[in-house]
Amino acid sequence: MRRRFNVTGSCIPQRHYMVKLDERLKCIKEDYIDEGSYFAINRGRQYGKTTTLRALEEYLKRSYLVMSLDFQEITAKKFSDETIFSRAFAEKLYKSLKNTGVEDKEALLEVLEDFLADTADAGLDELFECLSKMCESSSQPIVLMIDEVDSASNNQVFVEFLAQLRARYLKRDKTPTFHSVILVSVYDIKNLKLKLRPEAEHQYNSPWNVAADFDVDMSFSSRQIASMLEEYEMDYHTGMNIQVVAKEIYQYTSGYPVLVSLICKWIDEKITGNINYETLKQAWTKEGVAEAVKGILIENTPLFESMIRQLSEYPDMKKMFQAILFQGSQFVYNPHTKEINLACMFGYAVNKGGMVEIANRIFETCLYNYFYSEEELSNAIVRMAKREKSYFVHEGQLDMSAVMEKFVEYFTDIYGQNNEEFLEDNGRKFFLLYLKPIINGIGNYYIESQTRDERRTDIIVDYRGEQFIIELKIWRGNEYNERGEKQLIDYLDYYRKDRGYMLSFNFNKKKSIGVKEIKIGSKTIVEAVV
C-alpha cells in the first residue's frame, strides 16, 4: 500500500508519512506520566492530539496499563444521569481493557463485570469504588486517557465526574486510584460552559484545578518536517532540497500539524503533473509550496470552516483580529481576556513575547480573505480593480508599477475627501482589497507579521514565481520616511531584489500625490503617495 500524507483523522505510521514523535512522547512520559500528573491536552482542531494519544498509548505499555476511551463514542443521552453514564463508562473501559495484552487483565475484567452485573442504582460513587478496586488489583500503575472530552463538557454529569477524579487524586495516598489521567480536547475544560454558554458567570466552574499545566510544544519544527520529507524522498527520489522545502513549509504554517500535511498532500497529489510542475523535482520546491498554499486557501477545508464559524459565534474575537490585521493594533497576551483565551485555545493565535500574534501565515491570509469577502461586493475600489485587471498584466507578468499608479488614482478619487482617522484606519485594508482581484487565481500574498504595526506593514506578493516587496506605511515626516526607505532596502537585500515598492498614506495637506522612482545605490524604489 502506498503511504500518503494524511489530513483526516489520526495518522498511522504504516499508512501515512508523519513526523517522528519520539522526543514528544519521551517528554510527556518523563515530565508528566512518571510524575503521576493529572493533566489536559488542549489544542486547536487537527493539531495531532489523537495521533499523539495513540502513539503515547503504545509508548507507555511497557511501564503502565493504559486504558483509553473516546467520549465521542458515548452518546449525549448517556450523559443524562449518573447511573446511565456510569454503566456506559464501565462498558467502554471493559472493551478497552479486553483488547489489551495485560497479563492480569482477567482479574480486572472481573471487577468490571461485577459492577456491570448490578447497576440498577449504581452511580458515580459506585463507579469510582469499582475503579479503585481495579487500581488496587493491577500489577501495573493505570493511566487513564480520555479523548474528545469537550464533546461531554456541557453535561452536569461530566462536571461531577471531574469532581470525583479530583477527590480521588487528593486522597491517592490513602485510596488506590489512577496513577495519571489525561483529558484531551479543543476547549479548555477549566471553562466548561464556554462552549455553549459564553456568559461571563459560567466561564470558570470546573473542578479540574488539580491538573498540571501541559506546555509541551505540539507544533512541528522545520527539522521535524524535514525528517518526514526524508521518508518521502527515500520512496520517490525526487531530488528535492529537503532543508529548503521544510523551511518554506514551516514559514507558511509555523508547524501547525494539519497545515504541514496539507501542503505536502497538495504537492504530492495535486501540484505534481501541472504546468511548470511536471516532475516531482519541480513540484517539491519553494515555488511548489507557494502554489500549494494558493490552492489550499481557496479550498473549503474543515479547519477554515471551523474558523469562520467561530468568528461569527465570538464577535469580540473577530474584532480583535480585524484590529490586528487592519489597524496594526497590538494586544498584550492575557489568558484571562476572553477573546485572547479563545483565539489561543482554538489555535488561531499564539503568545509571542508577551503579545498576541496570529498563529501562522496561512491563518492570517485566510482571515484577510474572509474579511475582504464581506466588503468586496459593496466596495468601489474593488470594482475598479476587477474592471481594469487586464491593464496590470502584460505577457503573463504583473506590472506592479501600474498597480501602484492606478491605486493612487482610484483611492484619491474615491476616498480622498475622507478625514484622517478614516483613512488611517482603512487605507491599508483598501489597498489589499484592491490588490486581491488583480492577482486572484494566479498570485498570492502574505503579510510579514514582524513589520506590521500601526505605522508600517510589509506585503510579499508572489505572481507566477516573481516576488514583489511592498511596504505600506503612515507618513510621519521626512526622517521617518527615510528610515522606511532604508528598511525597504534591507528587505530587498534579504530577498535579493533590485526593485521595491512603497505606499505612503500622507495626511499632510501640502503633500504631493503621485508615483515616483527613487534610486538608492543599486536599488530602485517605486514610491506612491496618497
CA 231 to each of CA 238, 272, 338: distance values in angstroms, whole numbers, following the listed order: 11, 18, 42
The pLDDT assigned to 25 comes to 96
The pLDDT assigned to 411 comes to 87
Residues in the chain: 530
Q: Measured between alpha carbons, how far is 310 from 181 in angstroms, rounded to an integer?
A: 29
> What are φ and ψ of residue 386, in 5° steps?
-65, -40
* List of long-range contacts for 400-405, beta carbons under 8 Å, 24+ apart: 400/461, 400/468, 400/470, 400/501, 400/526, 401/501, 401/515, 401/526, 403/435, 403/438, 404/501, 404/503, 404/515, 404/526, 404/528, 405/515, 405/528
Q: Measured between alpha carbons, how far is 462 from 500 in angstroms, rounded to an integer?
A: 13
* Cβ 266 vs Cβ 292: under 8 Å: yes
Helix 286-297 to helix 242-253 angle, to the nearest 10 degrees?
30
CA 210 to each of CA 36, 40, 135, 199, 320: distance values in angstroms, whole numbers, following the listed order: 12, 10, 20, 24, 32
The pLDDT assigned to 197 comes to 43
Element (H, E) at 505: strand 499-505
pLDDT, averaged per 10 consecutive residues of the chain (530 residues), comes to 90 92 95 96 92 94 92 87 92 88 85 85 91 94 92 77 92 94 86 46 60 92 96 96 97 96 97 93 95 91 94 94 86 93 94 94 92 76 83 90 92 78 73 87 78 66 89 76 80 89 81 87 91
Q: Measured between alpha carbons, how far is 334 from 121 in angstroms, rounded to an integer?
A: 46
The pLDDT assigned to 513 comes to 86
The pLDDT assigned to 455 comes to 56
DSSP state of 210: T
* Cβ 505 vs Cβ 489: under 8 Å: no
Q: Measured between alpha carbons, how far is 109 from 74 in angstroms, rounded to an integer?
A: 20
> What are φ and ψ of residue 261, in 5° steps?
-65, -35
The pLDDT assigned to 201 comes to 43
| pTM of the shown model | 0.85
* Cβ 365 vs Cβ 296: under 8 Å: no
Q: Which residues of 135-156 are buried (b: 16+ CB within 10 A; e: fewer)?
A: beebebbbbbbbbbbbbbbebe
Q: Measured between alpha carbons, how far is 371 from 81 in angstroms, rounded to an integer?
A: 43
Query: Residue 282 half-sphere exposure, CB side, CA atoms within 13 Å?
Result: 11
Element (H, E) at 124: helix 124-137
* Cβ 243 vs Cβ 230: under 8 Å: no
